[in-house]
Amino acid sequence: MRRLSEALYLFAITLWVGGLWAIGYMAAPVLFAGLGDRQLAGMVAGKLFALIGWVGLACAAWLLVFLVSRWGGRVVRSAVFWLVFVMALLAAASQFGIQPLMAQLKLDALPREVMESVLRDRFAAWHGISSILYLVQSLLGLWLVLWSGRGLR
């Protein structure tokens, strides 16, 4: 059973961090470069970002349970624990804070597109904040991959 939990630990890191990088730095740019319609590209990219947000929260839950069960109370002295915890906070902030706010701005702009409305500047600011949080989460994820074996020792 220990080998299975360790395999799931590594799979969760791979799925989450690989998904962050694949969606954010490969799929989304291809969508915007390949589709003539920026609104459609943004809608599809938004759905992909929401998906990886849920994947991240699920993986973080498993990783935290694994680390606590493995290390007990000493887990708070582990860098891996804090990497996962901060990444989970960033994913939750995006999923439950920023993304709903941006969706509401889009609704408030109707019948116009948000980037053609008076809400353009607010949307662009929140989009920028979201992008920065995503970049930080991606870089922390890279660090987590490099340190992932420490959760097994």
As a three-state string, the secondary structure of 76-123 is HHCHHHHHHHHHHHHHHHHHHHHHHHHHHHHHHHCCCCHHHCCCHHHH
Residues 105-128 pLDDT 10s: 988 988 888 888 898 999 999 999
Mean pLDDT for the chain overall: 93
Residues 25-74 pLDDT 10s: 999 999 999 998 888 998 999 999 999 999 999 999 999 999 999 999 99
Torsion angle defined by CA atoms of residues 110, 114, 115 and 119, in that order, rounded to the nearest 10 degrees:
110
Of all residues in the chain, the percent with pLDDT exceeding 70 is 97
Asked whether the beta carbons of 98 and 123 are under 8 A apart, the reply is no
Distance CA 49, CA 44 (A): 9
Q: What is the pTM of this model?
A: 0.90
Distance CA 82, CA 87 (A): 8
Amino acid at the residue 61? A
